[in-house]
Structure 1
Amino acid sequence: MDIAFKIADYSDIEILVQLIREFHEIEHLPFDESKIRPLLAKIMRENSLGQVWLIQDSGEAIAQSTPPTVLGYIVLTFGYSLEFLGRDAFIDELYIRESHRGQGVGTRALQFVQQVCPSLGIQALHLEVARKNTAAKRLYRKVGFEDHDRYLMTQWMAT
């Protein structure tokens, strides 16, 4: 498999919405397409917010003269932290379709983002994982992520 990463643009919104729907269903997260579409458009339009990549099998496309098979997507969002010495980033979503899991696609996606971060001025890279998701935790540790003695806590702001 020849994995490639394509920065998503407006022409990719349909496949991204489909992938996000799949991811949210598997993770039991709420999904509201009417909210997701404008959020995708905004992150694609405003580079200061982050970047979205499609994960593709480009080798298959070259061999068969067809569009690349979409294996998943990854979303990187940007922040700024005194604790982490400047610009930091959060892997907001990483989704690999079930048919392509266990084949190194997730590892390659994480390594890709790790390689891109220095060119974006990123000092620290974060992600979150469900406590019960031992396979994902193993993968994240394998590529260099460390546990902190902290919990990610959230408070939704009224709008």
Structure 2
Amino acid sequence: MTAALRLARPDDLDRLMALVAAFHSESGIAQDDEIRRNALTPLLDGIPHGCIYLIGPGRAPLGYIILTFGWSIEFGGMDAFVDEIYIRPAVRGRGIATEVLQDLPKALAEAGLTALHLEVDRTNETAQKLYLRSGFKPRDRYVLMSKML
């Protein structure tokens, strides 16, 4: 399987909204469409804080991956978080996410990124296995903590 990636553009918003809503529903993330649209639109418009890639055919994407960029002293420069990655349930298990998580980091490293992070539900063993196979490692000394502003 070749998981072709294409940088999402503003005209992809409707397709992307449906995919993100499906991911949020599956993951138990309560968010209304207006908040979702307001969070996605700047990324599609090209702000420098992140980007969205559609996975697969442009007219009927198989999924998406959203990256957000930051800077880390510990990791020696620009880093990124996989904010969300989603593959449609009907095409899961075909190696699409594995291919994305192995190939995209190589391209990001060539562009100067020093580290790629993600978070995963502690009870989602399938996703944890995928991420471990893709080279991600748990940071046992650290706990990701958040504060809503």
| TM-score higher than 0.5 | yes
- Counterpart of 1:152 in structure 2 is 144
* Cα deviations by residue, 1:96-133 (Å, 9 ceiling, x for unpaired): 01001111011011123212212332101000000001
| Cα deviation, residue 138, structure 1 | 0.6
Alignment of structure 1 residues 1-159 onto 2, 5 Å: 1-57=1-57, 68-149=59-140, 150-157=142-149
State the structure with bigger RCO (CA 8 A, min sep 6), 1 or 2.
2
Cα root mean square deviation, aligned: 1.4
| Cα deviation, residue 56, structure 1 | 0.8
Q: Tell me, yes or no, if the aligned pair for 2:6 and 2:53 is still in contact at 8 Å.
A: yes
Runs of 5+ unmatched residues, structure 1:
58-66
Q: How many Å separate the matches in 2 of 1:125 and 1:145?
A: 8
The TM-score with structure 1 as length reference comes to: 0.87
Shift of the 47–115 alpha-carbon distance from structure 1 to 2, 3 Å rule, reads farther
| Cα deviation, residue 68, structure 1 | 4.8
| Cα deviation, residue 70, structure 1 | 1.3
Q: Share of identical aligned residues, percent? A: 39
| Range with bigger deviation, 4-13 or 113-122 | 113-122
Look at both structures and tell me which one has the larger radius of gyration over its CA atoms: 1
- Counterpart of 1:62 in structure 2 is none
Q: How many Å separate the matches in 1 of 2:127 and 2:70?
A: 23
Q: How many residues are paired up?
A: 148
